Amino acid sequence: MENLGTASREELIAIIEALAARVAELEEENQRLRRGQGGGRPLSVKPSRPPKEKGPRKRRGGAFVRRNETPDAVMHHAMECCPDCGRKLTGGWPHRSRQTIEVIFQLRVIEHVIVARRCGVCNKRWIPKLSPDQLGAQGKRRFGVRGQSLVAMLHIGGRIPMRMIRRMLGELVGLHISDGEIVELLDGAKAAGREQLQRLHDEVRGSPAVCGDETGWREDGQNGYLWGFFTPTARYFLYRKSRSGDVPKEVLGEEFAGTVTCDFYAGYNKLGVLQRCWVHLLRDAKELTELNADRPEIVAWVEALQALYEEAKAFCLACGELPADCRVRRKERRRFEGLATELARPYAKAPNAPQRVLAQRILKHLHELFVFVGNPQVPADNNLAERSLRPAVIARKISGGTRSPKGLPVLWQAPRPGWD
Protein backbone atom coordinates (compact mmCIF):
# COMPACT_ATOMS: atom_id res chain seq x y z
CA MET A 1 0.00 0.00 0.00
CA GLU A 2 1.24 3.45 -0.83
CA ASN A 3 2.29 5.88 1.87
CA LEU A 4 -0.96 7.64 2.79
CA GLY A 5 0.91 10.57 4.31
CA THR A 6 2.43 11.56 0.95
CA ALA A 7 -0.38 10.39 -1.38
CA SER A 8 -2.21 12.96 -3.48
CA ARG A 9 -5.96 13.58 -3.36
CA GLU A 10 -6.61 11.51 -6.49
CA GLU A 11 -4.58 8.57 -5.10
CA LEU A 12 -6.52 8.64 -1.81
CA ILE A 13 -9.84 8.65 -3.67
CA ALA A 14 -8.71 5.64 -5.70
CA ILE A 15 -7.71 3.76 -2.54
CA ILE A 16 -11.10 4.49 -0.93
CA GLU A 17 -13.00 3.32 -4.02
CA ALA A 18 -10.97 0.08 -4.12
CA LEU A 19 -11.69 -0.59 -0.46
CA ALA A 20 -15.40 0.10 -0.92
CA ALA A 21 -15.52 -2.33 -3.86
CA ARG A 22 -13.78 -4.98 -1.78
CA VAL A 23 -16.25 -4.51 1.09
CA ALA A 24 -19.15 -4.94 -1.35
CA GLU A 25 -17.60 -8.18 -2.70
CA LEU A 26 -17.17 -9.56 0.82
CA GLU A 27 -20.77 -8.73 1.76
CA GLU A 28 -22.07 -10.45 -1.38
CA GLU A 29 -19.92 -13.53 -0.69
CA ASN A 30 -21.18 -13.59 2.88
CA GLN A 31 -24.79 -13.58 1.67
CA ARG A 32 -24.06 -16.48 -0.72
CA LEU A 33 -22.50 -18.48 2.10
CA ARG A 34 -25.57 -17.93 4.26
CA ARG A 35 -27.80 -19.20 1.46
CA GLY A 36 -25.47 -22.16 0.76
CA GLN A 37 -24.69 -21.02 -2.77
CA GLY A 38 -21.47 -20.65 -4.68
CA GLY A 39 -19.97 -23.97 -3.61
CA GLY A 40 -18.92 -22.56 -0.27
CA ARG A 41 -19.74 -24.05 3.07
CA PRO A 42 -22.86 -22.49 4.55
CA LEU A 43 -22.56 -20.87 7.95
CA SER A 44 -23.67 -23.28 10.63
CA VAL A 45 -26.52 -22.09 12.79
CA LYS A 46 -27.24 -24.29 15.78
CA PRO A 47 -30.89 -25.31 15.64
CA SER A 48 -33.12 -24.81 18.61
CA ARG A 49 -33.43 -27.70 20.99
CA PRO A 50 -36.57 -29.68 20.20
CA PRO A 51 -39.15 -29.52 22.96
CA LYS A 52 -39.26 -32.53 25.24
CA GLU A 53 -42.43 -34.37 25.86
CA LYS A 54 -43.39 -33.99 29.46
CA GLY A 55 -44.27 -37.21 31.17
CA PRO A 56 -46.24 -37.68 34.35
CA ARG A 57 -44.81 -35.85 37.33
CA LYS A 58 -42.75 -38.03 39.64
CA ARG A 59 -44.24 -38.22 43.09
CA ARG A 60 -41.89 -37.20 45.88
CA GLY A 61 -41.29 -39.26 48.93
CA GLY A 62 -42.12 -36.28 51.16
CA ALA A 63 -43.15 -32.68 50.86
CA PHE A 64 -40.21 -30.26 51.04
CA VAL A 65 -42.13 -27.50 52.77
CA ARG A 66 -41.94 -25.86 56.16
CA ARG A 67 -43.46 -28.02 58.84
CA ASN A 68 -46.32 -26.65 60.89
CA GLU A 69 -45.37 -25.07 64.17
CA THR A 70 -47.10 -25.61 67.48
CA PRO A 71 -49.69 -22.81 67.51
CA ASP A 72 -49.88 -20.30 70.35
CA ALA A 73 -53.46 -19.40 69.46
CA VAL A 74 -56.15 -21.03 67.31
CA MET A 75 -58.79 -18.97 65.53
CA HIS A 76 -61.86 -20.56 63.90
CA HIS A 77 -63.47 -18.95 60.88
CA ALA A 78 -66.99 -19.88 59.74
CA MET A 79 -69.83 -18.20 57.87
CA GLU A 80 -72.69 -17.03 60.08
CA CYS A 81 -75.49 -17.36 57.50
CA CYS A 82 -76.19 -18.77 54.05
CA PRO A 83 -75.40 -16.23 51.31
CA ASP A 84 -78.32 -17.50 49.18
CA CYS A 85 -81.26 -17.83 51.56
CA GLY A 86 -79.95 -16.04 54.65
CA ARG A 87 -80.52 -18.99 57.01
CA LYS A 88 -78.30 -19.07 60.10
CA LEU A 89 -75.55 -21.71 59.90
CA THR A 90 -74.43 -23.78 62.90
CA GLY A 91 -72.08 -26.72 63.59
CA GLY A 92 -69.65 -27.63 60.84
CA TRP A 93 -66.32 -29.43 60.53
CA PRO A 94 -62.69 -28.38 59.87
CA HIS A 95 -62.22 -28.01 56.14
CA ARG A 96 -58.58 -26.89 56.06
CA SER A 97 -56.14 -24.97 58.19
CA ARG A 98 -53.48 -22.39 57.53
CA GLN A 99 -50.76 -21.05 59.81
CA THR A 100 -49.49 -17.49 59.98
CA ILE A 101 -46.15 -16.88 61.64
CA GLU A 102 -46.02 -13.45 63.24
CA VAL A 103 -43.08 -11.74 64.92
CA ILE A 104 -44.18 -9.48 67.76
CA PHE A 105 -41.84 -6.96 69.36
CA GLN A 106 -43.28 -5.65 72.57
CA LEU A 107 -41.81 -3.24 75.09
CA ARG A 108 -42.59 -4.22 78.69
CA VAL A 109 -41.92 -1.94 81.65
CA ILE A 110 -42.14 -3.85 84.93
CA GLU A 111 -42.25 -1.84 88.14
CA HIS A 112 -41.07 -3.69 91.23
CA VAL A 113 -42.70 -2.30 94.36
CA ILE A 114 -40.73 -3.24 97.45
CA VAL A 115 -43.09 -3.43 100.41
CA ALA A 116 -41.81 -2.90 103.96
CA ARG A 117 -43.57 -4.75 106.74
CA ARG A 118 -43.31 -4.54 110.49
CA CYS A 119 -43.43 -7.50 112.82
CA GLY A 120 -46.15 -7.12 115.45
CA VAL A 121 -44.22 -9.19 118.01
CA CYS A 122 -40.65 -7.80 117.86
CA ASN A 123 -41.65 -4.48 116.30
CA LYS A 124 -38.90 -4.77 113.61
CA ARG A 125 -39.24 -3.50 110.05
CA TRP A 126 -38.46 -6.01 107.31
CA ILE A 127 -37.68 -5.08 103.68
CA PRO A 128 -37.03 -7.87 101.11
CA LYS A 129 -33.78 -7.89 99.15
CA LEU A 130 -34.43 -8.80 95.53
CA SER A 131 -31.96 -11.03 93.71
CA PRO A 132 -30.87 -10.34 90.10
CA ASP A 133 -33.06 -13.27 88.99
CA GLN A 134 -36.10 -11.68 90.63
CA LEU A 135 -35.38 -8.27 89.11
CA GLY A 136 -34.32 -9.68 85.72
CA ALA A 137 -31.61 -7.04 85.49
CA GLN A 138 -27.88 -6.78 86.04
CA GLY A 139 -26.87 -4.69 89.06
CA LYS A 140 -28.70 -1.37 89.25
CA ARG A 141 -29.42 -1.15 85.52
CA ARG A 142 -32.90 -0.21 84.40
CA PHE A 143 -32.73 -2.43 81.33
CA GLY A 144 -33.41 -6.13 81.77
CA VAL A 145 -31.12 -8.92 80.71
CA ARG A 146 -33.21 -9.66 77.62
CA GLY A 147 -32.80 -6.14 76.31
CA GLN A 148 -29.12 -6.20 77.23
CA SER A 149 -28.66 -9.52 75.43
CA LEU A 150 -30.45 -8.14 72.37
CA VAL A 151 -28.11 -5.12 72.22
CA ALA A 152 -25.04 -7.35 72.63
CA MET A 153 -26.25 -9.76 69.95
CA LEU A 154 -26.95 -6.95 67.45
CA HIS A 155 -23.63 -5.23 68.03
CA ILE A 156 -21.35 -8.28 68.32
CA GLY A 157 -23.10 -11.04 66.40
CA GLY A 158 -24.68 -8.78 63.76
CA ARG A 159 -21.87 -6.15 63.78
CA ILE A 160 -24.49 -3.39 63.71
CA PRO A 161 -23.29 0.12 64.66
CA MET A 162 -24.65 1.75 67.81
CA ARG A 163 -26.50 4.44 65.89
CA MET A 164 -28.38 1.80 63.89
CA ILE A 165 -29.17 -0.12 67.09
CA ARG A 166 -30.72 3.05 68.53
CA ARG A 167 -32.82 3.46 65.41
CA MET A 168 -33.95 -0.17 65.37
CA LEU A 169 -35.04 -0.11 69.01
CA GLY A 170 -36.91 3.15 68.45
CA GLU A 171 -38.77 1.92 65.35
CA LEU A 172 -39.49 -1.63 66.51
CA VAL A 173 -40.51 -1.20 70.13
CA GLY A 174 -40.56 2.57 70.68
CA LEU A 175 -37.55 2.46 73.03
CA HIS A 176 -35.30 5.54 72.88
CA ILE A 177 -31.80 4.91 74.22
CA SER A 178 -28.54 6.87 74.15
CA ASP A 179 -25.15 5.76 72.84
CA GLY A 180 -23.75 5.94 76.35
CA GLU A 181 -26.37 3.52 77.63
CA ILE A 182 -25.53 1.09 74.81
CA VAL A 183 -21.86 1.26 75.82
CA GLU A 184 -22.80 0.55 79.43
CA LEU A 185 -24.95 -2.43 78.40
CA LEU A 186 -22.09 -3.87 76.35
CA ASP A 187 -19.67 -3.29 79.22
CA GLY A 188 -22.05 -5.13 81.52
CA ALA A 189 -22.26 -8.03 79.06
CA LYS A 190 -18.45 -8.18 79.09
CA ALA A 191 -18.40 -8.28 82.88
CA ALA A 192 -21.02 -11.03 82.93
CA GLY A 193 -18.98 -13.12 80.49
CA ARG A 194 -15.67 -13.10 82.37
CA GLU A 195 -16.29 -16.52 83.85
CA GLN A 196 -17.16 -17.95 80.45
CA LEU A 197 -14.09 -16.23 78.99
CA GLN A 198 -11.92 -17.95 81.57
CA ARG A 199 -13.47 -21.29 80.63
CA LEU A 200 -12.64 -20.62 76.98
CA HIS A 201 -9.08 -19.79 77.99
CA ASP A 202 -8.77 -23.04 79.91
CA GLU A 203 -10.25 -24.98 76.99
CA VAL A 204 -7.70 -23.51 74.59
CA ARG A 205 -4.84 -24.30 76.97
CA GLY A 206 -6.01 -27.88 77.34
CA SER A 207 -6.59 -28.54 73.65
CA PRO A 208 -4.20 -30.93 71.82
CA ALA A 209 -4.20 -28.68 68.72
CA VAL A 210 -4.59 -24.89 68.47
CA CYS A 211 -4.53 -22.52 65.51
CA GLY A 212 -2.95 -19.12 66.19
CA ASP A 213 -2.80 -15.87 64.26
CA GLU A 214 -2.66 -12.11 64.82
CA THR A 215 -3.74 -8.95 62.99
CA GLY A 216 -3.17 -5.24 63.44
CA TRP A 217 -5.49 -3.16 65.63
CA ARG A 218 -5.42 0.51 66.65
CA GLU A 219 -6.59 1.72 70.04
CA ASP A 220 -6.69 5.45 70.81
CA GLY A 221 -4.40 6.09 67.83
CA GLN A 222 -1.78 3.60 69.01
CA ASN A 223 -0.82 0.59 66.93
CA GLY A 224 -1.33 -2.80 68.53
CA TYR A 225 -2.29 -6.35 67.67
CA LEU A 226 -5.35 -8.50 68.11
CA TRP A 227 -4.21 -12.05 68.85
CA GLY A 228 -6.40 -15.08 68.39
CA PHE A 229 -6.09 -18.73 69.39
CA PHE A 230 -8.72 -21.12 68.12
CA THR A 231 -9.93 -24.68 68.36
CA PRO A 232 -12.92 -26.26 66.58
CA THR A 233 -15.10 -25.40 69.61
CA ALA A 234 -13.45 -22.29 71.13
CA ARG A 235 -12.38 -18.82 69.96
CA TYR A 236 -10.12 -16.80 72.26
CA PHE A 237 -9.07 -13.22 71.47
CA LEU A 238 -6.93 -10.70 73.29
CA TYR A 239 -5.41 -7.30 72.49
CA ARG A 240 -1.79 -6.47 73.16
CA LYS A 241 0.43 -3.65 71.96
CA SER A 242 3.27 -6.12 71.41
CA ARG A 243 3.76 -8.67 68.66
CA SER A 244 6.54 -10.51 70.47
CA GLY A 245 6.64 -14.19 71.21
CA ASP A 246 5.78 -13.54 74.86
CA VAL A 247 2.09 -13.15 73.96
CA PRO A 248 1.56 -16.75 72.74
CA LYS A 249 3.40 -18.01 75.83
CA GLU A 250 1.18 -15.80 78.01
CA VAL A 251 -1.97 -17.27 76.49
CA LEU A 252 -1.00 -20.93 76.25
CA GLY A 253 1.20 -21.07 79.34
CA GLU A 254 4.56 -22.67 79.99
CA GLU A 255 3.04 -26.14 80.40
CA PHE A 256 1.17 -26.23 77.08
CA ALA A 257 1.67 -29.72 75.62
CA GLY A 258 -0.35 -29.40 72.40
CA THR A 259 0.56 -28.40 68.85
CA VAL A 260 0.11 -24.89 67.44
CA THR A 261 -0.64 -24.49 63.75
CA CYS A 262 0.61 -21.09 62.59
CA ASP A 263 2.29 -19.25 59.75
CA PHE A 264 6.03 -18.78 59.48
CA TYR A 265 6.18 -15.75 61.80
CA ALA A 266 9.08 -16.09 64.25
CA GLY A 267 6.96 -14.97 67.21
CA TYR A 268 5.66 -18.52 67.58
CA ASN A 269 9.14 -20.07 67.77
CA LYS A 270 9.13 -19.96 71.58
CA LEU A 271 6.31 -22.48 71.72
CA GLY A 272 6.80 -26.24 71.78
CA VAL A 273 5.54 -28.32 68.85
CA LEU A 274 4.57 -26.29 65.78
CA GLN A 275 2.83 -27.14 62.51
CA ARG A 276 3.60 -24.54 59.86
CA CYS A 277 0.76 -23.60 57.54
CA TRP A 278 0.98 -25.20 54.11
CA VAL A 279 -1.43 -22.69 52.60
CA HIS A 280 1.02 -19.86 53.30
CA LEU A 281 3.85 -21.89 51.79
CA LEU A 282 1.93 -22.83 48.66
CA ARG A 283 0.63 -19.27 48.27
CA ASP A 284 4.20 -17.98 48.09
CA ALA A 285 5.04 -20.78 45.69
CA LYS A 286 2.16 -19.72 43.45
CA GLU A 287 3.50 -16.16 43.37
CA LEU A 288 6.85 -17.62 42.35
CA THR A 289 5.28 -19.33 39.32
CA GLU A 290 3.48 -16.12 38.34
CA LEU A 291 6.78 -14.23 38.36
CA ASN A 292 8.53 -17.00 36.41
CA ALA A 293 5.77 -18.23 34.11
CA ASP A 294 8.21 -18.38 31.18
CA ARG A 295 10.52 -20.81 33.01
CA PRO A 296 9.09 -24.34 32.91
CA GLU A 297 11.62 -25.70 35.44
CA ILE A 298 10.28 -23.32 38.12
CA VAL A 299 6.68 -24.28 37.35
CA ALA A 300 7.60 -27.97 37.53
CA TRP A 301 9.30 -27.46 40.92
CA VAL A 302 6.22 -25.75 42.37
CA GLU A 303 3.96 -28.47 40.96
CA ALA A 304 6.16 -31.10 42.64
CA LEU A 305 5.82 -29.25 45.95
CA GLN A 306 2.05 -29.12 45.53
CA ALA A 307 1.94 -32.83 44.66
CA LEU A 308 3.95 -33.64 47.79
CA TYR A 309 1.42 -31.84 49.98
CA GLU A 310 -1.53 -33.51 48.26
CA GLU A 311 0.08 -36.91 48.72
CA ALA A 312 0.49 -36.24 52.45
CA LYS A 313 -3.14 -35.14 52.71
CA ALA A 314 -4.27 -38.24 50.83
CA PHE A 315 -2.37 -40.43 53.30
CA CYS A 316 -4.10 -38.70 56.22
CA LEU A 317 -7.52 -39.30 54.65
CA ALA A 318 -6.76 -42.94 53.91
CA CYS A 319 -5.34 -43.67 57.38
CA GLY A 320 -7.52 -41.41 59.47
CA GLU A 321 -8.34 -44.15 61.99
CA LEU A 322 -4.71 -44.92 62.84
CA PRO A 323 -3.70 -43.62 66.29
CA ALA A 324 -1.42 -40.63 66.61
CA ASP A 325 2.34 -41.22 66.52
CA CYS A 326 2.00 -44.89 65.61
CA ARG A 327 4.74 -46.69 63.69
CA VAL A 328 3.06 -46.25 60.30
CA ARG A 329 2.54 -42.52 60.83
CA ARG A 330 6.11 -41.97 62.02
CA LYS A 331 7.47 -43.85 59.02
CA GLU A 332 5.38 -41.85 56.56
CA ARG A 333 6.30 -38.59 58.21
CA ARG A 334 10.02 -39.37 57.83
CA ARG A 335 9.44 -40.32 54.19
CA PHE A 336 7.67 -37.05 53.40
CA GLU A 337 10.40 -35.08 55.16
CA GLY A 338 12.99 -36.90 53.05
CA LEU A 339 11.11 -36.06 49.84
CA ALA A 340 10.87 -32.41 50.85
CA THR A 341 14.62 -32.37 51.58
CA GLU A 342 15.39 -33.79 48.13
CA LEU A 343 13.14 -31.15 46.60
CA ALA A 344 14.68 -28.18 48.42
CA ARG A 345 18.36 -29.01 48.96
CA PRO A 346 19.59 -28.45 45.34
CA TYR A 347 18.37 -24.85 45.39
CA ALA A 348 18.95 -23.79 49.02
CA LYS A 349 22.52 -22.61 48.37
CA ALA A 350 22.14 -21.60 44.71
CA PRO A 351 22.36 -17.77 44.78
CA ASN A 352 20.66 -17.31 41.41
CA ALA A 353 17.85 -19.84 41.85
CA PRO A 354 14.42 -18.15 42.10
CA GLN A 355 13.21 -20.86 44.49
CA ARG A 356 16.17 -20.38 46.86
CA VAL A 357 14.15 -18.54 49.56
CA LEU A 358 11.37 -21.13 49.60
CA ALA A 359 13.91 -23.96 49.59
CA GLN A 360 15.68 -22.45 52.60
CA ARG A 361 12.34 -22.06 54.38
CA ILE A 362 11.49 -25.72 53.76
CA LEU A 363 14.81 -26.92 55.17
CA LYS A 364 14.64 -24.58 58.16
CA HIS A 365 11.13 -25.71 59.15
CA LEU A 366 11.41 -29.27 57.83
CA HIS A 367 10.34 -30.90 61.10
CA GLU A 368 7.38 -28.51 61.39
CA LEU A 369 5.80 -29.23 57.98
CA PHE A 370 4.50 -32.79 58.40
CA VAL A 371 3.39 -32.89 62.02
CA PHE A 372 -0.18 -33.38 60.75
CA VAL A 373 0.92 -36.70 59.21
CA GLY A 374 1.86 -38.07 62.61
CA ASN A 375 -1.08 -36.55 64.50
CA PRO A 376 -4.51 -36.52 62.80
CA GLN A 377 -5.82 -33.90 65.28
CA VAL A 378 -3.41 -31.28 63.95
CA PRO A 379 -4.62 -29.34 60.87
CA ALA A 380 -2.16 -28.79 58.05
CA ASP A 381 -3.30 -25.23 57.42
CA ASN A 382 -4.18 -22.17 59.46
CA ASN A 383 -7.51 -21.51 57.77
CA LEU A 384 -9.46 -21.76 61.04
CA ALA A 385 -7.54 -18.80 62.46
CA GLU A 386 -7.80 -16.81 59.24
CA ARG A 387 -11.57 -17.23 59.08
CA SER A 388 -12.03 -16.49 62.78
CA LEU A 389 -10.09 -13.23 62.57
CA ARG A 390 -11.87 -12.11 59.42
CA PRO A 391 -14.82 -10.35 61.19
CA ALA A 392 -12.35 -8.35 63.29
CA VAL A 393 -10.43 -7.35 60.17
CA ILE A 394 -13.64 -6.15 58.51
CA ALA A 395 -14.56 -4.14 61.62
CA ARG A 396 -11.07 -2.60 61.71
CA LYS A 397 -11.26 -1.57 58.06
CA ILE A 398 -14.65 0.08 58.64
CA SER A 399 -13.96 1.82 61.96
CA GLY A 400 -10.18 2.22 61.86
CA GLY A 401 -9.89 0.91 65.42
CA THR A 402 -11.26 1.84 68.83
CA ARG A 403 -10.77 4.66 71.34
CA SER A 404 -10.56 2.67 74.57
CA PRO A 405 -10.60 -0.91 75.91
CA LYS A 406 -14.39 -0.67 76.22
CA GLY A 407 -14.63 -0.11 72.49
CA LEU A 408 -13.44 -3.59 71.67
CA PRO A 409 -16.34 -5.98 71.15
CA VAL A 410 -17.13 -7.98 74.25
CA LEU A 411 -16.09 -11.37 72.89
CA TRP A 412 -12.77 -10.06 71.58
CA GLN A 413 -11.40 -9.09 74.97
CA ALA A 414 -9.29 -10.98 77.41
CA PRO A 415 -8.27 -9.50 80.79
CA ARG A 416 -5.22 -7.30 80.51
CA PRO A 417 -2.64 -7.03 83.26
CA GLY A 418 -3.83 -4.48 85.78
CA TRP A 419 -7.52 -4.61 84.80
CA ASP A 420 -10.08 -4.63 87.60
Give pLDDT tens digits for 262-307: 999 999 998 889 999 999 999 999 999 999 988 999 999 999 999 9
Angstrom distance (rounded) from CA 227 to CA 316: 29
| Number of Cβ within a 10 Å radius of residue 240 | 19
How far are the Cα atoms of 38, 126, 327, 371 from residue 114, in angstroms, in the given order?
Answer: 105, 10, 71, 64
Asked if residues 277 and 381 have their Cβ atoms less than 8 Å apart, the reply is yes
Q: What is the DSSP string of 77-100?
A: ---SB-TTT-PBP-----------
310-364 confidence digits (pLDDT tens):
999 999 998 878 888 889 999 999 999 999 999 999 999 988 899 999 999 999 9
**What are the C-alpha distances in Å from 75 to residues 80, 103, 106, 280?**
15, 17, 22, 61
Residues 71, 76, 78: CA angle, nearest 5 degrees: 155
CATH level 2 (architecture), domain 201-274+381-415? 2-Layer Sandwich (3.30)
pLDDT of residue 244: 92
Residue 259: strand pairing partners? 209, 273
What digits encode the pLDDT tens for the residues 185-242? 988 888 888 888 899 999 999 999 999 999 999 888 889 999 999 999 899 998 999 8
In Å, how far from its chain's centre is CA 56?
A: 44
Q: Does pTM surpass 0.85?
A: no
Q: pLDDT digits over 375-411, tens only? A: 999 999 999 999 999 988 888 888 888 877 776 654 4
Mean of per-residue pLDDT scores for the chain: 86
Give me the pLDDT at residue 45, please. Answer: 57
